[in-house]
Amino acid sequence: MLCVFMISKSVFSQSKNYTKIEEQFLNFVNNFKSSISTTHAQYFKKQLEAFNENLTEYLKGGYGLSFNELNELRVMKKNTSVFEDFYATMGFDDNKSTCSMKDIRIVNEYFPEIEFSLIKSSEKFVNIYKIKIDQYNVFVARHTDRAFDKKINYSCKFNNQIKTGNMGLPYKCIRKIIDNASNNFTQLLNPIILNTENIASIGSLSSCTSE
């Protein structure tokens, strides 16, 4: 069973350093959905990266934080690392990164209103999923072939035109095909996998085997 620890206002006495860190974390949570579908997405991701680096420093140095506070910081770090990977994968105008199914589940625990649904099971172990974050729709692909990394060739309707493309897809990784932000958040037709190629034995691309 996947266990996700949620950060909330703590019952123990808080130091000033911890209060400041917790406020920063909750600010990320509060703005998580509103930034991902805009040009602000990359800046938000960089802020998450910087926050994660600060958490690492606090965990190394202590900085007068109590045992309970340091434990809470470890939980924050695990979750902000997931948020960072999710943003890198799903953020507006970017599809070069990947995240794992476990990342999706953890984000969904924080934000149950984010919808994640299977759209199509394709041949050669490739599935297409839809992630709906308010009006922002993201279509992603994932494959579970233990023997090969994949190259998928796809087609979808975009701005009243047919758009085609291709991308590498590592084992068990989730990678974005397309989103609807550039299409004024209107509904896109589901992407169609035209064909799938085995490009190399498993391990040639970074896999996402942590589930």
pLDDT digits (tens, 9 = 90+) for 85-122: 999 999 987 788 999 999 999 999 999 999 999 988 76
DSSP string spanning 149-177? EEEEEEEEEETTEEEEEEEEE-BT-BEEE
Read off the pLDDT of residues 169-206 as tens digits, 9 standing for 90 and up: 998 999 999 888 877 887 777 788 878 888 876 565 66
3-class DSSP state for residue 187?
A: coil
Give the predicted TM-score (pTM) of the model. Answer: 0.85
Mean pLDDT, all residues of the chain? 85
pLDDT exceeds 70 at position 128: yes
More confident residue, 27 or 210: 27
CA–CA gap between residue 167 and residue 177 (Å, rounded)? 8
Q: b/e for 131-156, b at 16 or more Cβ within 10 A?
A: bebeebbbbbbbbebeebbbbbebeb
> Using the 8-state DSSP alphabet, how is residue 114 labeled?
S
Q: Identify the pLDDT of residue 29.
A: 93
Q: Identify the pLDDT of residue 196.
A: 87
SS3 content of the chain, % helix, strand, coil (to 5): 35, 30, 35
CA–CA gap between residue 129 and residue 139 (Å, rounded)? 6
15 pLDDT band (50/70/90 cuts)? confident
